[in-house]
Amino acid sequence: MASSAHPPSARSGGIIPTWVRVALGDESLSGSILTPAGVQDVLLGPGGAIDLGILAIFTTVAIFSIVVYAESVRVEIPLSNTRVKGARGRFPVKLIYASVLPMILVRALQMNVQFMGRIMDQQWAGMPAALGVYSDGEPVSGLFYYLNPIMTPEDWMWFAGFGGGNEVWQILLRVSIDLFIMVVGGAIFAIFWVKTTNMGPEATAQQIHGSGMQIPGFRQNVRSIERVLEQYIPQVTVIGGALVGVLAVGANMLGTIGGVTGTGLLLTVSITYKLYEEIAEEQLMEMHPMMRKMFG
């Protein structure tokens, strides 16, 4: 990618030493930050190193904050124990109910399409230009160009001298297609993930009923619990999958610290938050032994 062509002087020492050099006015970078080139270097990174720019720092912090907030947004369904009087609990239906793992499946599908395009370019010498024109193994026009996901800011920031020389409407069309695929694909794969991992209303109702819990005010059977869960889980699954798709594309478009992909950043934040929740859950079960059976 274009990031590999960044001058060594812009990267040596990491992000903190680089910005110390910018503050001291290192001439090997952009010079004064009061010039247009200097402002661009502050926002997009000195010497073209986008993953060292303020925009990348802001994007990383913003994505981290949004994911943590989204993980904490939930609908809590009250539960009571049928065997122990007074024992109560809650079943949380989170906004990101299916986690960010379905995004990996969407990206894998996109990469498979691009892999097929490269094979066709190498094996089919007369491949129509409408399907794709390749340069150095990357599509620069045609169908495979528009299906190629946005992975770095260099793929679309035409106003900063990037975009591979394509027309503005071509770049915007590619961004729109990638966003559409990630939003719709994220919602579809989230539904698929929930069904295959026994997180759907039916399987979850079986788990809650098997643990001896029930929803107060409803009959003590699986079907009653399932009907309540069906009011929340399918809708939250679709909304959460679409939200994660938007965040993944936004992170790729604006760049992140270290050049981490949007999917990788989302997965890192999600795993970290899950670890925090597991630690809190272990402490809860130690305080309330009856909760151990409910959580399995």
Q: Which residue has the tokens 């039916």?
A: 202
295 vs 170 pLDDT, higher one:
170
149 vs 80 pLDDT, higher one:
149
Window from 206-215, 229-238, 284-293 with minimum mean pLDDT: 284-293
pLDDT band with cut points at 50, 70 and 90 for residue 11: very low
Please give the mean pLDDT across all residues of the chain: 81
Cα 245 from Cα 251, distance rounded (Å) = 10
Cα 38 from Cα 32, distance rounded (Å) = 6
Q: Which residues contact 294 (CB under 8 A, 6 or more apart)?
A: 79, 89, 208, 211, 212, 213
Q: Domains of the chain (ranges plus CATH)?
A: 1-52 (no CATH), 58-295 (1.10.3370.10)
Instruction: From 68, 114, 82, select the one nearest 273 (Cα to Cα).
Output: 68
Q: For residue 88, list its beta bridge partners.
A: 80
For residue 221, CA distances in Å to 31, 195, 200, 209, 224 come to 72, 21, 17, 7, 6
Share of the chain above pLDDT 70, in %: 76
Q: 239 is written with which tokens?
A: 């909304």
Q: What would the pLDDT profile of 112-167 be if each residue is shown by its tens digit? A: 999 999 999 888 877 888 999 998 889 999 999 999 999 988 899 887 778 888 99
Q: What would the pLDDT profile of 233-290 be if each residue is shown by its tens digit? A: 999 999 999 999 999 999 999 888 878 888 889 988 988 888 888 887 776 656 555 5
Q: 35 is written with which tokens?
A: 């010039």
The pLDDT score that the predictor gives to residue 291 is 53
As a residue count, the chain comes to 296
Does the structure show a pLDDT above 90 at 47? Answer: no
Phi first, then psi: give them for residue 91, nearest 5 degrees: -105, 115
